[in-house]
Amino acid sequence: MEAEAALELVKHGATLLLLDVPQNTLIGIDTQMFFSGPNFKGVKMIPPGVHFIYYSSSNREGNEFSPIVGFFVEASPSEVIVKKWDSKDERFVKLSEEEGERYAQAVKKLEFDRQLGPYALDQYGDWKRLSNFITKSTIESIEPIGGEITIISESEMVGNVHKTAMEKVLAEQLKNSKFSKPDKKSPSNGCYYTSIPRVIKLKGVSGQDLTNMNLDKTHILETILTKQYGGSEDSLLGELQFAFVAFLMGQSLEAFLQWKLLVSLLLGCTEAPLHTRTQLFTKFIKAIYYQLKIGFQKDSKDTSRAEKGATTSLDESLLSADNFLRHLCKDFFSLVLDAPVVDGDLLTWTRKLRELLERTLGWDFQPNSSVDGMHLEEDDEFAPVVEILDDPDH
């Protein structure tokens, strides 16, 4: 990059200034990660907009890491975000407004320029595809008190939630971790995700009608869009992306559970994709396509990072062990690909998603594949459940 162009990016891009960072601390922004050296003080040339910043402290040898702590920001042009390491609590804290402004002016005078790593602009396209529906409003409505997302706060929160075999393994790892106790110093009480009902429960509706409503989740989708998102399809997609980023980069189990609920809701619809919400489903399939494609990407640094518990790659075994996605995708693919009339964009992205899963995970969605023989276990969360409420007191 030419010197003049680089200087313009330094001046107009945002800057993340991190003070007193211990060596070997993992620092992440979006899909990029750094391990701090003796002179590392943050990241420059950050494109304005929404970003996810996350970090994890290590022991002196740099081979054991604490659970990741992350937070979303919306960076303005030329903004300087200043954080200082608190060695006692092992987390970044804000400075006073006056002190923060003093450091911000020093950054704008390029006094820290040599100690700031550049944002890798060649990776920005991937980040935009993961976050294009996340807005400032999305962040403000979902983020926990204090803004920090961390699995440290989730050990009790997810303890009693219905979990698949894969989720139980993740929860057990958390339970056995030395970091599994609730962080009493942190004000975080978890994110404020939208409540997604698994089944419809209505008074005065016949059993057959309730069964139909629960087999096709279009009614649940329409109710949630109206009541929870003010009719905004993009707000729902923003929460889907927020949860995925918090899970992939922030390693939040709570976020994975919410992402799974939203994906299960959308893939469980049969009326909406073809008739009433075609544009929403085109955007949804495109969004989840990029989530999985980018999540499955691995670079040469992933092996060493994974050994330290630090990676932004999606573990394929997570989706393979928990076949909810395979089961729902098979039904959704059949719905769209076998439809006599279907929107061209929806058809294109559905085919791309199927090809990605077949190529990456080796899943076979052909009509006579073994997935047809899959059965729903007794406690399977996707088995239809009908509940008729005749008593007005219940």
The CA distance from 222 to 276, in Å, is: 10
- Transcribe 340-367 into DSSP letters: SS--HHHHHHHHHHHHHHHHHH----ST
Give the chain's mean pLDDT.
81
- Three-state DSSP at 222 gives helix
Predicted confidence band of residue 53 (pLDDT cuts 50, 70, 90): very high
pLDDT of residue 242: 98
Pull the structure tokens for residue 217: 């989740």
The phi, psi pair for 330, rounded to 5°, reads -60, -45
Predicted confidence band of residue 158 (pLDDT cuts 50, 70, 90): low
pLDDT of residue 204: 53
The CA distance from 211 to 216, in Å, is: 9
Q: Which residue has the tokens 């994974």?
A: 306
Q: Which residue has the tokens 């406690």?
A: 379
pLDDT of residue 327: 86
Buried/exposed code over 33-52 (b: 16+ C-beta within 10 A; e: otherwise): bbbbeeebbbbbbbbebbbb
Torsion, Cα 88 90 96 99, to 10 degrees, reads: 100
Q: Which residue has the tokens 């993992």?
A: 26
Look at residue 390 and tell me whether its pLDDT is greater than 80: no
Task: Give tens-digit pLDDT for 339-363.
Answer: 999 999 999 999 999 999 999 888 8
> pLDDT higher for 155 or 250?
250
Predicted confidence band of residue 324 (pLDDT cuts 50, 70, 90): confident
Q: What is the pTM of this model?
A: 0.84
Task: Give tens-digit pLDDT for 328-345.
Answer: 999 999 999 999 999 999
Predicted confidence band of residue 212 (pLDDT cuts 50, 70, 90): low
pLDDT of residue 229: 95
Look at residue 325 and tell me whether its pLDDT is greater than 60: yes
Amino acid at 77: P
Q: What is the CA radius of gyration of the chain?
A: 23
Look at residue 300 and tell me whether its pLDDT is greater than 50: no
- Transcribe 8-29 into DSSP letters: HHHHHSEEEEEESPPTT-EEEE
> Across-strand partners of 71?
53
- Three-state DSSP at 387 gives strand
Question: How close are the terminal C-alpha atoms of the chain, in Å?
Answer: 66
- Transcribe 20-77 into DSSP letters: SPPTT-EEEETTEEEE--TT--EEEEEPSEEEEEEEE-B-TTS--BPPPEEEEEEEPT
Number of other CB atoms surrounding residue 85 within 10 Å:
19
Q: Which residue has the tokens 């979990």?
A: 163
Torsion, Cα 134 136 141 147, to 10 degrees, reads: 100
The CA distance from 149 to 3, in Å, is: 37
Task: Give tens-digit pLDDT for 215-268.
Answer: 789 999 999 999 999 999 999 999 999 999 999 999 898 999 999 999 999 999
Q: Could you tell me how many residues make up the chain?
A: 394
The CA distance from 341 to 331, in Å, is: 17
pLDDT of residue 178: 44
